[in-house]
Structure 1
Amino acid sequence: MSLPSLADRAIVLQAHAADWRAAVRLAGDALVDSGCTTAEYTEAMLRLVETHGPYIVIAPGLALAHARPGPEVRQDGLSVVTLAEPVEFGHAHNDPVSVVIGLAGVAADAHLSAVADLANAFNDSAAIQALARATNREDARAILEGRRVS
């Protein structure tokens, strides 16, 4: 699996977000806090949604916040934010969102590989619900790695 490691500082459980912007910002802040990106990367993630709409809402309840590789990315990184109350992104079929994954890649090929690995992790829609209910970081990691959580 080529997913970047998931630092403790990159996992935020049961957070409160007023709207989609705040939810994406939480995922971006977790990438910054874990040393993977600069704050400019978070702003780029927000701009992409503002420009292209809620395309990052890739499955019911799940958003994959990301931006293009660039100087704002210090190292490949992943963040996970679960929301205490789901928020609307404006997606016709997959709202509301309760899990926001932040993804940052130094190089385009690694970025695409990580997206594919995340898609595999969420092939089972129950994984999204399980992640939304995770109560600790180890369970969140296990779910992303495709391991069952008891």
Structure 2
Amino acid sequence: MLKEFLKNNIILTDEFDSWELAIKQASEPLLEKNIIKESYVEAMINSVYKNGPYMIIMPHIALAHARPEDGVNENGISFLKLKIPVIFPQENDVDIIIVLAAKEDEGHLELMAELADLLVDDEKTEAIRRAHNKNQIKEILFSE
């Protein structure tokens, strides 16, 4: 399932001046496919302003998300890998931003389970952080 959702939603870029711009870029594939609305992107950013960097789920990795009613049209996920990390509030450096869009609260559980399996694998996570192109990232993400 993760492979199907992510296959055309991976972005690799050098750097951004802010974490806000990085979240906007990470959201682009979902916006282009009308999976989310611009209001969802703004809700993710505003949520960090309001709640702090809660979306940093482990060192260097942020799982950007908001409420379904903030602008989710269907389930989706996108992946941004930065060569140079952005700094989130409270001095958290992040070089991987995953945007998760779920139509209902439980609509993404299987996808989240697959994502969790990937992220708890320290070797894969570090390999992704060292990757230099989309093909390398796909190979790591989708290997068994």
TM-score higher than 0.5: yes
The ranges of structure 1 where at least 4 consecutive aligned residues each deviate by more than 6 angstroms after the TM superposition are none
**Where does 1:18-97 land on structure 2 (aligned, <5 Å)?**
18-70=17-69, 72-91=71-90, 95-97=92-94
8 Å CA contact 1:29–1:42 kept in 2: the answer is no
Give the Cα separation in 2 of the matches to 1:45 and 1:123: 24
> 1:2/1:13 Cα in 2 relative to 1: closer, same or farther (>3 Å)?
closer
Residue 89 (structure 1) shift:
1.1
- Alignment of 1:101 with 2:98, yes or no, is yes
**Where does 1:4-19 land on structure 2 (aligned, <5 Å)?**
5-8=5-8, 10-19=9-18
> 1:104/1:88 Cα in 2 relative to 1: closer, same or farther (>3 Å)?
same
The alignment partner of 2:5 has SS state of coil
Matching residue's letter, 1:127 = K
Give the Cα separation in 2 of the matches to 1:45 and 1:139: 28
CA deviations on 1:52-92 (whole Å, 9 max, x unpaired) are 11011111110000111126212211111011211111356
TM-score, L = length of structure 2: 0.85
8 Å CA contact 1:29–1:39 kept in 2: the answer is no
Give the Cα separation in 2 of the matches to 1:109 and 1:83: 29
The alignment partner of 1:70 has SS state of helix
CA RMSD for the aligned pairs? Answer: 2.3
Residue 47 (structure 1) shift:
1.2
Consecutive unaligned residues of structure 2, counting only runs of 5 or more, are none
Structure whose residues are more often helix by fraction:
2
Residue 43 (structure 1) shift:
0.6
> 1:43/1:71 Cα in 2 relative to 1: closer, same or farther (>3 Å)?
closer
Consecutive unaligned residues of structure 1, counting only runs of 5 or more, are none
Give the Cα separation in 2 of the matches to 1:7 and 1:36: 15
TM-score, L = length of structure 1: 0.82
8 Å CA contact 2:39–2:70 kept in 1: the answer is no
Residue correspondences, number = 144
Give the Cα separation in 1 of the matches to 2:35 and 2:14: 20
